[in-house]
Amino acid sequence: MALQCGIVGLPNVGKSTLFNCLSNAKAQAANFPFCTIEPNVGVITVPDDRLTKLAELVKPNKVQPNTIEIVDIAGLVKGASKGEGLGNQFLGNIRATNAIIHVLRCFDDGNVIHVDGSVDPIRDREIIDTELQLKDLDTVDKRIQKVEKMAKTGGDKDAKRTFEILSVVKPHLESGKSVRTAPLSDEDFEFIVDLGLLTQKPVMYVCNVDEASVVTGNKYVDLVKASVADEKAEVLVISAKIESEIAELESYEERQEFLADLGLDESGVNKLIRAAYKLLNLYTYFTAGVQEVRAWTITKGFTAPQAAGVIHTDFEKGFIRAEVIKYNDFVTLGSENACKDAGKLGVEGKTYVVEDGDIMHFRFNV
């Protein structure tokens, strides 16, 4: 599944530095606006201790983890919704992503220029949110013009429902709120998903702090958490400077020692990657054999045939059954054969909903 998270934020908040830590696809990190003109795309590995444990038990020839694409999108300025600066390009790039990682500057440093002259993460967030909301409002207005007549004649039920939903979304946007916080059900949102509304996308806020604040946070982080409380969005505290220093260390042991000295149990990058995976509403299932132990990405709620289709469409078309072992059973008993002998291998049909961590083998016929 080709899934993308877009890193956004005002110029010089630490987006490209963070991107460099996440990916081998290096973006230019410089102390001036618009140092990232084209969106840089990096493929990053999702850290998962379960995959490591399975590999230790099975000892396969190859281990294949899950991945997510991270896109570093050009900085935004006021007026982007009207095409100012790199506005049209920015909005087009973000529309193509599945979720948003919004980086906010939450540190004071006179040596790093801020595009608006002072540090204020709430103002910075509102600048970007406003531009996205204005663009969404334009999109909503155009769709309302298209469906309003059909809705009022009463002949098209879908048009009528869409018009009712958009009649809720429009004033919500006009009040300066994002679509994702509108008082609508998941079913309602499905009626407008084709609009690709920018503020309907799930979002995670990353507070870029100084080294002294990476464990406890600071006044800026507290302000951010309070300002996004109604969005049910995750807020992560990360120091891009620290992460860049960790990325330069060659060995795992050196990185762990560095983290321990700072009072951290793992890097912020690892936390961010896992949080992004969760933000996209994703699950992992595994296939485990001598040739390969592999993690597969699925959307939460996938049935067994849908999960099989992630490997190959033929697997879904010709699905017969799935043989399923729970991760904890596999680890406790140590092998597939041991799980079979203990009666811990389940045979599931087309209606089985895959759980996170399932170890699966598919039977199919084409």
Asked if residue 289 belongs to a domain, the reply is no
Residues 231 and 325 in one domain: no
State yes or no: 17 annotated in a binding site: yes
Residues 189 and 56 in one domain: yes
Look up the CATH number of the domain holding residue 317: 3.10.20.30
- 159 occurs within a structural domain: yes
Instruction: Check whether residue 62 and residue 183 sit in a common domain.
Output: yes
What's the pLDDT at 116?
66
User: Is 296 domain-assigned?
Assistant: no
260 and 127 together in one domain: yes
- Domain of residue 252, CATH code: 3.40.50.300
CA distance linking residue 62 with residue 294, whole number of Å: 8
C-alpha Rg value of the chain to the nearest Å: 23
The encoded tokens of residue 253 equal: 């042991």
Residue 202 located in a structural domain: yes
Question: Residues 274-285: pLDDT tens digits?
Answer: 888 888 889 999
Q: Is residue 309 part of a domain?
A: yes
How confident is the model at residue 113, as a pLDDT?
62
Q: Which residues of the chain have pLDDT under 70?
A: 1-2, 23-39, 75-90, 113-116, 154-155
Of 54, 39, 90, which Cα lies nearest the Cα of 358? 54
Q: Give residue 41's pLDDT.
A: 80
- For 361, residues 6+ apart whose C-beta sits below 8 A from its C-beta are 287, 322, 323
Pairing of strands 292-299, 282-288: antiparallel
| 26: DSSP letter | P
| Residue ending a domain, choose from 279, 310, 340 | 279
Residue 215 domain flag = yes
Instruction: Select from 212, 247, 279 the last residue of a domain.
Output: 279
Residue 286 lies in a domain: no
Residue 31, pLDDT score = 44
Tell me whether residue 13 is annotated as binding. yes
Confirm or deny that 6 is annotated as ligand binding. Answer: no
Is 162 annotated among the ligand-binding residues? no
Cα–Cα distance for residue pair 322/306, rounded to 1 Å: 11
Distance (Å, whole) CA 298 – CA 16: 28
**According to the annotation, is 310 in a ligand binding site?**
no
- DSSP state, 356? T
Residues 30 and 109 placed together within one structural domain of the fold: yes
- Domain span including residue 354: 301-364
Do 67 and 193 reside in the same domain of the chain? yes
> What local confidence, expressed as pLDDT, does residue 20 receive?
81
Residues 33 and 132 in one domain: yes
* Whether 330 and 220 share a structural domain: no
Torsion-angle region of 100 (φ positive above 0: left; ψ -120 to 50: alpha; else: beta)? beta
Closest among 128, 12, 18 to 77, alpha carbons compared: 128
Are 235 and 350 in the same domain? no
| 94 lies in the same domain as 152 | yes
Q: What is the largest CA-CA distance in the chain?
A: 69
Give DSSP secondary structure letters for 246-315.
Answer: HHH--SHHHHHHHHHHTT-SS-HHHHHHHHHHHHTTEEEEEEE-SSEEEEEEEETT-BHHHHHHHH-HHH
Task: Quote the tokens at residue 103.
Answer: 């980086």
Residues 336, 334: Cα–Cα separation, whole Å: 7
203 falls within a domain: yes
Query: Cβ distance 17 to 248 under 8 Å?
Result: no
Same domain? 267 vs 339? no
16 is in an annotated binding site: yes
Q: Using an 8 Å Cβ cutoff, are 49 and 239 in contact? A: no
Distance CA 226, CA 219 (A): 11
How many domains in the chain? 2
The answer to whether residues 138 and 232 belong to one domain is: yes
Q: Name the strand (E) or helix (H) holding 277.
A: helix 268-279
